[in-house]
Structure 1
């Protein structure tokens, strides 16, 4: 039995761009729904499940970054932001809001396709379970490596697809420092300082979820000159 085609939601206030993206992505095997603004997107999200959201930042009314912040309160669906802004700080703001990646306009459609596929590959496969389950303990937080789930007591902590992928990467090499460039490559992104800074932002977000004091991390540590390392309780 083959897996169903991924269902994408494209949110852009520009009707021409919205239509072009929808046709392009459908041609490449995706099921695509489209929304003209944040309110329209909310209505679709209330009744449908999506595998990924392609979201324009510069929209009238509620912009893409604000919508991302609100969606992250209840959804873990991957989000790719489209932004016309070239400043790195503006893109970082989107990642801090909970986006998994960003793409600056104008862009080549092929690059959009590559980014979407890279994000979808980060989403853990629920059926691909290791032979033996293993739980890592990080103080009051537990990471189930079999299910890719993070728990604090009886509460499951919501992780974005990128955060889930980072936990998967770190848990496979507990106690070993991983360089930023290595993390960028494993996340399926192009190299460069901008992407390494983007990883820093994702690490900061992840620490807020698993650390008692994110400013003085005990478990997701910074190793000077080497990158980041996951430490666990024995």
Structure 2
């Protein structure tokens, strides 16, 4: 299947079935599970490209399952779904090892964009560790901490700048559309806000913001981060 093999884990049968139908219609091969135990059985028997995992499940919840899988060395990309949109909940999920986080309710198109982004940046060889930092000249971007440093000194970023740089870093070397950047950074209502954040970031990381070396424009698409 073109989209990849997805494991959808959600205790809400209606949503689980809707997600399976929608993803199947958009080129994914989908297997579903109603709780963590069933998900583990599928993981033991089949190979998946990504897991869409609900946080609020009875018994072992999504964050606990994510944490346990990472502790076991399982690096399957995980997109967490939850009805809770608070920043602390999002941070807990990402700290547990999730690759991305989407709050309910969400637009189905946004789910597709996020899955495509996760699959695009996933290591092709799961035995090969992905880089933990990216070099941007005198700057270093820490992917795990979402932190920009110049030498030993942290560089102040606004939350919008940090979110944008994180999304671009995850797809380093590949163009990311304005629409995807807007959706991933909370600017869906005004995609041109992405251009403003790009301009600000260039002033911080480029020797000459007018001739960007690292944060490049991809004509007709959006932007791309090209590290050293």
TM over 0.5: yes
Aligned pair partner of 2:59 in 58, 61, 67: 61
Matched, 1:96 2:90: no
In structure 1, the partner of 2:25 is 27
In structure 1, the partner of 2:157 is none
Q: Take 1:53 and 1:104, find their aligned partners in 2: how far apart are those partners?
A: 15
Gaps of 5+ in 2: 142-147, 149-161, 171-175, 188-203, 206-228
* 1:99-133 CA distance string (max 9 Å, x none): 0000000001111111100111111335xxxxxxx
Pair 148,61 (structure 1): closer, same or farther in 2 beyond 3 Å = closer
Q: Take 1:174 and 1:79, find their aligned partners in 2: how far apart are those partners?
A: 31
TM-score after normalising by structure 1: 0.60
Q: Take 2:3 and 2:111, find their aligned partners in 1: how far apart are those partners?
A: 17
Instruction: Return structure 1 stretches of 4+ with deviation > 3 angstroms.
Output: 147-150, 177-181
Gaps of 5+ in 1: 127-146, 151-163, 194-225, 228-234
Secondary structure of the structure 2 residue equivalent to 1:92 = helix
Q: State how 1:9-28 maps to structure 2 within 5 Å.
A: 9-28=7-26
In structure 2, the partner of 1:38 is 36
Q: Take 1:45 and 1:7, find their aligned partners in 2: how far apart are those partners?
A: 12
Q: Take 1:34 and 1:184, find their aligned partners in 2: how far apart are those partners?
A: 28
Q: Take 2:127 and 2:166, find their aligned partners in 1: how far apart are those partners?
A: 18
Aligned pair partner of 2:185 in 191, 195, 216: 191
In structure 1, the partner of 2:68 is 70
User: In the alignment, is the contact (CA less than 8 A) between 1:56 and 1:82 conserved in 2?
Assistant: yes
User: In the alignment, is the contact (CA less than 8 A) between 1:123 and 1:165 conserved in 2?
Assistant: no
Matched, 1:105 2:99: no
Pair 175,65 (structure 1): closer, same or farther in 2 beyond 3 Å = same
Pair 191,29 (structure 1): closer, same or farther in 2 beyond 3 Å = same
The aligned length equals: 158
* 1:176-207 CA distance string (max 9 Å, x none): 345534333333652369xxxxxxxxxxxxxx
